[in-house]
Amino acid sequence: MSGHPSTYEPKYGATKWLDQRLPIIRMGADFMTFPSPRNLNYWYTFGGILTLCLVSQIITGIILAMHYVPHTELAFESVQRIRRDVPFGWLLQPMHAVGASMFFFAVYVHMFRGLYYGSYKAPREVLWIIGCLIYLVMMATGFLGYTLPWGQMSFWGATVITGFFGAVPVVGESLQQWLLGGYAVDNATLNRFFALHYLLPFVIAGLVGVHVWALHHVGQNNPIGITPKTKKDTLSFHPYYTVKDAFAVVVFLLIFAFFLFYQPDALGHADNYIEADALKTPPHIVPEWYFLPFYAILRAVPDKLAGILLMLGAIAVLFVLPWLDTSKVRSMRFRPVARGFFWIFLFFCFILGWCGAETPDNMVPFLSVGDKGLNFTWLSRIATFYYFAYFVIILPILGLVEKPKDRPESITKAILGDSSHGAAAPAE
């Protein structure tokens, strides 16, 4: 799996025997000794955090499936029963629901880290694309899962999202009804959403395997984006990064635990505690917080199909990013101009999230007086424009005209300066 020479030596008769037949211990040992750049910072711990999130979601999910009933008459009550009557259901159900939010929080940090340090550039294009695929399947899984409690937001969220397919020219309506299994969101829809929500996490797990495989083939990027040249530039994954990852996991779990034990419903929507009603649309439909920026892009356009295409484009553009960014310099540390644009990009992503949560016709506080000034539709249009401009205008042009700062020769020199003789380097 990994590209570095194996140093594993089986010590016992049994392990020697096994190593000749299935070198599975060797694979694990090579994984643990994988040479990682010695300058990885805490932004690089989110891969490990995300693995933990996936495992936690799968375990709590399988448990919830033992108590949940995917039927329109019983689904809402069965979730309430899990929370009230099932032993430790009060803990396990929020662990899954809050866990989904924590999962998305971690994946966004992970993705913005990749954007900042240029982790999508050669030779890591495929690694990046697999990551984008994982994100896409995560979005599908999150959406399907949110339908299952069968509250008002579940039902109407499902109605709106499956409505996207109705916008496809000619075959739209047939396609939509085929997905729903009926004329509208109903029991057939709930049943298949449950089946797919159970399936997709395992697809994610498979993709994560390929993601890590690609990572170990090309090696990790690092905060200065300089490829390790000598052994001095790297450290063994274990114990150096297992410990670093473990510490980050503990901090992450503290935040997780705060929500889990003190604010289990803060990240959800109150309307989802009203059972789904096909005859009454809630006055204000909003998706979960992690989809708000895309929802804002969708609503920024007054045309149905164009809105959907733009929203899909916002994700599709990530897939081709390795070829849009023309700069050969990976890390933004050496790209002062690009760095400024990056922070503006992050700012507008938050603005889009804010727009997605607000009613489009409402006026923006501080930027309007009475009904004069900027409303949220126009704010989301400005932010949407910047979102796309960053990828298809700024990054392609900037790579050609920007003069990057001088980069150090190696990771070791960047840390220890020219006088480095490895004196301060940890023992290998």
Partner 1 sequence: MSDTQVTDAHGEAIDDDKRDFIFIATGAAAAAGAVSLGWPLVAQMGKAADTLAAGSIEIDISKIAEGQQLKMLWRGAPVFVRHRTPKEIAEAENTDISKCPDPQTDSERLVAKPDGTIDPRYLVMVGVCTHFGCIPVGESGDYDGWYCPCHASHYDTSGRIRKGPAPRNMAIPDYTYISDTVIKVG
Rule CB under 8 A: choose which of 16, 229, 280, 328 binds partner 1.
280
Measured between alpha carbons, how far apart are the two ends of the chain, in Å?
22
Regarding 181 and contact with partner 1 (CB under 8 A), the answer is yes
Regarding 183 and contact with partner 1 (CB under 8 A), the answer is yes
Rule CB under 8 A: choose which of 250, 279, 401, 423 binds partner 1.
279
Q: Which residues contact 39 (CB under 8 A, 6 or more apart)?
A: 222, 223, 224, 411, 414, 415
Q: Which segment (123-131, 161-169, 198-206, 366-374) binds partner 1 by CB under 8 A?
A: 161-169
Cβ proximity of 197 and 97 under 8 Å: no
Regarding 278 and contact with partner 1 (CB under 8 A), the answer is yes
Regarding 156 and contact with partner 1 (CB under 8 A), the answer is yes
Give buried/exposed letters for 89-124 (b at 16+ CB in 10 A, else e).
beebbbbbbbbbbbbbbbbebbbbbbbbbbbbbeeb
Amino acid sitting at position 102:
M
Regarding 149 and contact with partner 1 (CB under 8 A), the answer is no
Nearest to 385 by CA among 319, 303, 305, 296: 296
Rule CB under 8 A: choose which of 186, 271, 275, 402 binds partner 1.
186
Cβ proximity of 348 and 148 under 8 Å: no
Q: What is the DSSP string of 247-315?
A: HHHHHHHHHHHHHHHH-TTTTS-GGGGSB--TT---SS----GGGHHHHHHHHHSSSHHHHHHHHHHHH
* 1 or 305: CB nearest partner 1: 305
Distance between CA atoms of residues 383 and 377, nearest Å: 10
Q: State the residue for tokens 């473990």.
A: 246
Distance between CA atoms of residues 317 and 151, nearest Å: 33
Q: State the residue for tokens 């799968």.
A: 58
* 171 or 266: CB nearest partner 1: 171
Regarding 179 and contact with partner 1 (CB under 8 A), the answer is yes
Rule CB under 8 A: choose which of 5, 13, 87, 302 binds partner 1.
302
Cα–Cα–Cα angle for 408, 343, 286, nearest 5°? 140
Regarding 128 and contact with partner 1 (CB under 8 A), the answer is no
Rule CB under 8 A: choose which of 188, 243, 255, 393 binds partner 1.
188
The size of the interface with partner 1 (CB under 8 A), counted in residues, is 36
Nearest to 115 by CA among 135, 98, 100: 135
Host H or E run for residue 209 = helix 187-218
Regarding 163 and contact with partner 1 (CB under 8 A), the answer is yes
Rule CB under 8 A: choose which of 29, 109, 210, 285 binds partner 1.
285
Regarding 166 and contact with partner 1 (CB under 8 A), the answer is yes
Rule CB under 8 A: choose which of 16, 231, 284, 328 binds partner 1.
284
Q: State the residue for tokens 């356009």.
A: 301
The pair of structure tokens assigned to 252 is: 């992450």
Q: Which segment (325-333, 335-343, 357-365, 382-390) binds partner 1 by CB under 8 A?
A: 357-365
* 80 or 187: CB nearest partner 1: 187
Regarding 318 and contact with partner 1 (CB under 8 A), the answer is no
Amino acid sitting at position 171:
V
Regarding 33 and contact with partner 1 (CB under 8 A), the answer is no
The pair of structure tokens assigned to 412 is: 């070791």
* 235 or 383: CB nearest partner 1: 383
* 186 or 275: CB nearest partner 1: 186
- Residues 360 to 399: which contact partner 1 by CB under 8 A? 360-361
- Residues 200 to 239: which contact partner 1 by CB under 8 A? none
Regarding 291 and contact with partner 1 (CB under 8 A), the answer is no
Rg (CA), the chain: 24
Regarding 198 and contact with partner 1 (CB under 8 A), the answer is no
Rule CB under 8 A: choose which of 171, 184, 199, 246 binds partner 1.
184
Shortest spacing between CB 179 and partner 1, in angstroms: 7
Regarding 164 and contact with partner 1 (CB under 8 A), the answer is yes
Rule CB under 8 A: choose which of 303, 350, 409, 428 binds partner 1.
303
Give me the residues that bind partner 1 (CB under 8 A), please: 156, 159-160, 162-164, 166, 177-179, 181-186, 188, 192, 278-285, 299, 301-305, 307, 359-361
